């Protein structure tokens, strides 16, 4: 039986890195019994619950690597904190609920370094994610990313 791995945000930095690693002929990641699908916003609007569910029902992923997010530069983040929060919460909810609905065995979600508190001692690790508010410049994006940690528990 073939395993299907769906990578949301497959055209982004990390998604492209995974794709390049798999394309390497000697890659230990490559397996004949796996089908990898790298989705982008051109394939499905992950903020739309119906479209997301339909896409997941069509693809039927065994595993999901969730990298998709609404991202922007510093000015966009600062001027659109609420919109970044809303859009990313929709994406997260739709990906996680659709993964569950189609019986995906595992979802791996990628967080961002901006989720860490603005004031933190180094070195940092994932146990420190909720130890204080993130930097004001990307509150919305950071909190939406933090919520993946909570939603996955």
Would you say residue 15 has pLDDT above 80? yes
List C-alpha distances in Å: 80 to 65, 113, 118, 124, 139: 26, 19, 19, 27, 10
The pTM (predicted TM-score) of the whole model is: 0.91
Exactly one of 63, 122, 141, 143 is catalytic; name it. 141
| Matching CATH number, 3-73+81-111+143-151, of 3.40.50.720, 2.40.220.10, 3.40.50.150, 2.160.20.60 | 3.40.50.720
Position 25 scores a pLDDT of 67
Decide if 141 is catalytic: yes
Beta partners for residue 109, in sequence order: 66
Give the rounded percent of residues in the chain with a pLDDT score beyond 70.
99
Q: Where are the chain's structural domains?
A: 3-73+81-111+143-151
Would you say residue 149 has pLDDT above 90? no
């Amino acid at each position: 039986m073939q395993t299907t791995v769906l990578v949301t945000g497959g055209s982004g930095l990390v998604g492209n890195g995974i794709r390049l690693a798999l394309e390497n002929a000697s890659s230990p990641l490559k397996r004949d019994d796996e089908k990898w699908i790298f989705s982008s916003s051109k394939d499905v609007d992950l903020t739309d619950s119906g479209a997301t569910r339909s896409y997941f029902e069509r693809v039927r992923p065994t595993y999901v690597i969730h990298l998709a997010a609404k991202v922007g530069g510093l000015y966009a983040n600062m001027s659109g904190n609420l919109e970044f929060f809303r859009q990313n919460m929709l994406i997260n909810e739709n990906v996680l609920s659709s993964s569950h609905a189609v019986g995906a065995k595992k979802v791996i979600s990628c967080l961002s370094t901006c989720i860490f508190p603005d004031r933190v001692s180094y070195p940092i690790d994932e146990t420190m994610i909720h130890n204080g508010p993130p930097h004001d410049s990307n509150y919305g994006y950071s909190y939406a990313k933090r919520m993946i940690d909570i939603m996955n528990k």
